[in-house]
Amino acid sequence: VRNSRDRSPGMARYAATPANPDTSVKARVESARCSFKNTRETAVAIRGMKVTKAVAYLNDVVEKKQIVPFNRFKRGVGRKAQCKNMRCSNGRWPVKSAELILGLLENIKANATVKGLDIDSLVVSHIVVNNAAEMRRRTYRAHGRVTAYSSNPSHVEIIASQDAPTIPAA
C-alpha cells in the first residue's frame, strides 16, 4: 500500500491501482461542470464494457437511441419505455455527462495507442465518480431576498485494462 508521500508532486492519485500497469491505461478529469448524479449513473452503465462498445453506447445516449438506467439517484426521474431493455423503470439521456465520459474514453484510446495496446481488447475495469467542491452562485428572489444557487460538479477517473486471453478448458 502506497501513501500520498510516496508519489511525485506532478502525478495524480487514483482511487485504484491497476493489477498490471503495463496493459492498463488511465484518464481523469477534475471539477467537471457536470451533474454528479447523472455522471455517476452514466459511469455505472458503462462499467465492465469494452471501450469500443462503451463509445458506441454513449454516442447512442447522446442521440437518445439508448437510455441510461437510474438506480440510485432516481427520485423525480421519470419512467421510460426504453428502460425495459435495461431491466429497470427509471432512466434519462444525460447528454452532458455522456459527452464528458466520451471525451475521457477518447483520451483512453489515445493513451492506449501511445502504449502500443490493442484498443479493441480494452475493458473499462475501473470507473469512479466523486463529488467535487460545490460551486456557489446566487439568485435574486422577490421581496429583496437572495437564495443560494449551487452546482454539483464531479471528478471522474477511468482505468481500462486489456482482456486476459481466454484459455479453453482441457
Q: Estimate to the nearest angstrom the gap between the alpha carbon of 39 and the chain centroid.
A: 6
Specify the range with the lowest mean pLDDT, choosing from 23-37, 42-56, 154-168.
154-168
- In tens, the pLDDT along 116-136 reads 999 999 999 999 999 999 999
Contact (CB, 8 A) for 108 and 160 = yes
- Judge whether residue 153 has pLDDT over 90: yes
pLDDT above 90: percentage of residues in the chain: 78
φ, ψ for residue 75 (rounded to 5)?
Answer: -70, 125
- In tens, the pLDDT along 66-82 reads 999 999 999 999 899 99
Q: What is the DSSP letter of 10?
A: T
